[in-house]
Structures are given as C-alpha cells and as structure tokens.
Amino acid sequence: MAASESATNHEPGTIPPALFNACFVLFVINAAFFPTAYLAHWWIWGPDGLGIPIDFVNVWAAGRLVLEGHPAQAYDWDIHKQIQVALLGQSYEGNFAWHYPPPFLFVASLLACFPYTVAFIGWAATSLVPYLAVMRAIVGRPFGLLLAAAFPVVLTNALVGQNGFLTASLIGGTLYLLPMRPVLAGICLGLLSYKPQYGLLFPLVLIAASQWRVFVTAAIVAIATAAASWLAFGTESWQAFVHWMPMFSQAFLTEGRAPWGKMQSIFALVRFFGGSEQLAWIFQWIMSGAVAVVLALMWRSRISYCLKAAALAAGTLLTTPYLFLYDLMVLAIAVAFLVRIGLRQGFERYEVPALGLVAALLMFYPLFGAPTGFGATLVVSSLIARRSWSRRELSDGDSARILSNGLIRT
C-alpha cells in the first residue's frame, strides 16, 4: 500500500494540470476545425462545388432509397453508388457500401428527409449530444465534457459523418446504467444491435455477472427493432442484407479493398505487415478468446465495477477484425472510467503520460497509415490491467454503492 501511494502523482479528487491542459488544447482544435474546414471547402463540399466522397454519403443514399420505396436496393452496391454519384456530382473509386442491419434504415431514412449538408451536420451534432452526456455521467464531473470533446477521434468521426458517437453512447450508456438501471441498460444494449459485432462480449459478461434483467431486456429490444424493420422495409431488405454480407466480408477482410492500415485490429495489423489471411485469423481468434476468458473472470471477481466496465469497453474493440478509426470512439468510454478511478483515488505517475501516448497514436494515424489505433487500445488495456492488479481498488460492493449513490458521482 505504501509503495502504491508513493507512486501516486496527484492527490485524489484533483485533475492533473497536464491532463486538463492537453484536453483543453485538443478541444480547441476540434471545435475550430469544422467551421474552418467547411468555409475552406475541405469538408462536405469541395471548392469546385462537387460533393466530397466520404462515408456519410452511404447513409444519406440508403435513406433516399428507402424514401423512394426501395429499401432492399440500399444493399446493392451498384444501385447504391448511382444514388451517391448523382448526389455528389462526381464518381469515385471503390464503394461506400451499406452493410448495416435493416433497423438502421430508420435512421438513414430520417436523415434523407433533409438536404445533404443539413443531414450531415445535423447527424454529427445530434449524435454528439448523448456521447457527451454519457461521458459526463461516467467521469462524474464537468471535466467529463471536456474529456469527451477533446478525444482525438471526435474529429475523425465527425469529419466522415460516421456513427462512432452513437456506438460509444450506447456502450457507455449500457455500462453506466447497468448497476442501478438494468432495464435502461438493456435498452441501450438492444439498440446496439445495429452494430452486432460490438455486442458479442456482452452476453458472456452478463451471464458471468448474473445480470439477467439486462440480458432479457436487450434481447427483447433487439428482436423488437428487427421485427419493426421487417414490417417497415419488408422481407426483401433482410434477404438483401444476408445476401450481401458475405460479399462485403470478402471485399474488406479477404481482398483488402480498404487499405489494411485503415483498420485498427490485430487482424489488420498482421495483414498490414504482409501476413496471410489465415495467419491474421489465427491471431484474431487467439486474442478474441483470451479477451473473452479474461472478461468472464473479471466480471465474476470482486474487482471494482469501473474496471470491469473499462475492460469490457476496450475488449469490444479487441475482439472484432473489422474496426475503423472512427469506431475507436468507444475507447473514450474506457478512458472515462479510468479517469473516474484516477479522480477518486489519485492518478499514478505513469497514467497521464500513457494517456498522452494514446492521444498521439490516434492523432498520428494519418502520418503513418498504419493501425496505430490498435496500439492505443493496447495501451488503455494495459492501464486497466495494471489497475486491476492493484490492491487499492474498491471491492464490487463498495463500487456498486458509489455508482448507485445518485448515479455516478464523485
């Protein structure tokens, strides 16, 4: 205990100045970038008046097909691209393919009701709100808002109009609400079925922790949204989803149509360095199995709930081969739980520099074009593991009491 206390660099309850200052600088950069980029024609529309080919175009185009009465055609790469080209006023190499389950067509069709620019900015802004709220709740202080807005992937996610804010808020909401609002937690988890690859570990840990109300609620919500989409968009939409998914997997996980450096998984790392697909799958399955075992043991142990939640958030990123930088928004949830622990118990001397390394790995991805985000996830996972081994952690009973005391408060 004495050795652990001597390693603490800051008093409990205080925000390290280096952490605050770094977050403030990153927040200013993120806040200033988008109006500057839009006015300079770096974002959404180019200086020639043509649309910039970027991820959000696939959402708006899919929604347009729904509004025109052809939801199943959103999964057809050729038809989908025709809508995108007509919108942008120019063609581009490759595809921004639609590969989400039919329930997400509700969101796409709503966004397609608005002009493209309004939909793009509106989607980024509205999906940011629940993410900010969840981060504030987890950290337990207004500093959580600054930490959320400063996270480096905020810029990437908003720049391409992706759904990382939504994914992070649903995972963060599930983990935040689970100890004291299991039904609400289950609703968040059930809505995460729009990206099923990030929900694979949750049944395992919920069973390990005997969280049956969350489990059942999530299953009901997932089934209900699937049924609603079937009624709204027809059987053909689900048939098209099932038909095109193997082609999508073939294109991105076998052929590498997206450069391997763009994906942030151990699978992509092996392929980036020239490894075969078989070798990449071996590494991926070993890591996924190891993460699953560790999480099952953690969630059955007396390790503090905050560490369990942080580990699960990081683990969802380690167990999927298909992981782009924008989805590393989920890593902010793991960081938020670590920051909460640091504010409660004091930050260790190595933790703030390690978080700086995480930010650097996420920010410098464009310079290297390599899966540096995978390295950032490993750094955060290492911080969680180090805390888990510390004798200074609260027991589950103490952690649950603190979490349920007016939600998460410091």
Which domain range does residue 330 map to? 123-404
For residue 93, tell me if it sits in a domain: no
For residue 229, tell me if it sits in a domain: yes
| Cα gap 311→380, rounded to integer Å | 9
pLDDT of residue 203: 95
For residue 16, tell me if it sits in a domain: no
Whole-prediction pTM: 0.92
For residue 94, tell me if it sits in a domain: no
SS3 for the chain is: CHHHHHCECCCCCCCCHHHHHHHHHHHHHHHHHHHHHHHCCCCCECCCCCECCCCHHHHHHHHHHHHCCCHHHHHCHHHHHHHHHHHHCCCCCCCCCCCCCHHHHHHHHHHCCCCHHHHHHHHHHHHHHHHHHHHHHHHCCCHHHHHHHHCCHHHHHHHHCCCHHHHHHHHHHHHHHCCCCHHHHHHHHHHHHHCHHHCCHHHHHHHHCCCHHHHHHHHHHHHHHHHHHHHHHHHHHHHHHHHHHHHHHHHHHHCCCCCHHHECCHHHHHHHCCCCHHHHHHHHHHHHHHHHHHHHHHHHCCCCHHHHHHHHHHHHHHCCCCCEHHHHHHHHHHHHHHHHHHHHHCCECCHHHHHHHHHHHHHCHHHHCCCHHHHHHHHHHHHHHHHHHCCCCCCHHHHHHHHHCCCCCC
What are the per-10-residue average pLDDT scores of the chain (410 residues)?
A: 46 89 96 93 94 96 97 95 96 92 97 97 97 98 97 95 97 97 97 93 95 97 97 96 88 84 93 94 96 95 95 97 94 98 93 96 86 96 92 46 45
For residue 239, tell me if it sits in a domain: yes
Q: Number of folded domains in the chain?
A: 1
Q: What are phi and psi of 177, to 5 degrees?
A: -85, -20
For residue 25, tell me if it sits in a domain: no
pLDDT of residue 258: 82
For residue 328, tell me if it sits in a domain: yes
For residue 7, tell me if it sits in a domain: no
